Amino acid sequence: MTSAIKPKAGTRPSKARIRQSFERAAPTYDNAAAIQRRICTRLAEGLPNITPARLLDAGCGTGYAQADLQARFPDAHAVALDLSPGMLQHVASPCCRVAGDLEHLPLADDSLDLYWSSLAVQWCDLAIALHEARRTLRPDGAVALASLGPATFHELRHAFADVDAHRHTLSFHSPDEIRRLASAAELSAIDIRRSTEIAHYADFKTLLRAVKAIGANQLGDGRRTSLMSRSSFQQAEAACEQLRTPAGLPLTYDVIYLYARK
């Protein structure tokens, strides 16, 4: 596997920490995931006209997409896969549940007609995940994938910019990088789309709790490993307040959608 784009591995936590974070978030995820559900719906709106016999929901979380996918494709055999067994326990729709890694799918070559993934691949080495998607797809199989772009959570970066030198968000691939990685994975008919989703919160503490409730508060190298002082928190809070709108404190999701074929 070769690519001119270096994976942003240093900003990602270990797989063990990602799994632990989503295990803890599983009970609170659905109540905090309004934006995630909206993105999932938008991803479904762009699906091509296909009739898959077998589909994968890669990084399924609590299985929100399953109801829509099964309504669209009632005859398809659905596989819901997530790194977190705790998340899988909340999947209510009838499907095959599998605990697994998007970088090492426990599926045979040429076994899928649709590879679907909504807001999961940002936790992965995207080059590897896309190669795995292609490996498991049958000829002319489809990819429908939503990830996050560079402007995601820019409000947090602004809030902490003058507080410390620690990293407070993941680094995310740009649309051009995602296009090049999809091409390097030998996917075709590549269609990249982009949208912005903004959540609003009453105060800074509520915003941070919401990020934690969806399991998105884990980072790799450069993260803060000690407790933040009260004065540092207040400084970050004051900086975030500079961004307040009539709807509240904003938190941006820069969403990138990838549709492609094998």
How distant is the alpha carbon of residue 216 from its chain centre? 9
Domain 9-150+172-197+254-261 listed as CATH 3.40.50.150: yes
Instruction: Give yes or no for residue 2 having a pLDDT over 50.
Output: no
**Judging by beta carbons within 10 Å of its beta carbon (0-12, 13-18, 19+), is residue 9 exposed, middle or buried?**
exposed
pLDDT at residue 161 in the model: 86
Structure tokens at 216: 């998105």
Query: Quick one: pLDDT band at residue 7, thresholds 50, 70, 90?
Result: very low
pLDDT, average across residues 80-90: 92
pLDDT at residue 226 in the model: 56
pTM here is 0.86
Q: In this structure, is the dihedral angle defined by the CA atoms of residues 122, 188, 191 and 114, taken in order, positive or negative?
A: negative
- What is the average pLDDT score of the chain? 87
Kindly report, residue by residue over 105-156, the tens digit of the pLDDT: 999 999 999 999 999 998 899 999 999 999 999 999 999 999 999 999 999 9
pLDDT, average across residues 100-106: 96
At residue 92, what is the residue type? A
235 vs 170, 209, 229, CA distance in Å? 21, 18, 10
Q: Lowest mean pLDDT: which of 45-49, 54-58, 165-169, 202-206?
A: 165-169
pLDDT, average across residues 63-79: 93
Query: Quick one: pLDDT band at residue 15, thresholds 50, 70, 90?
Result: confident
| Ramachandran assignment for 214, one of left (phi > 0), alpha (psi -120 to 50 degrees), beta (any other) | alpha
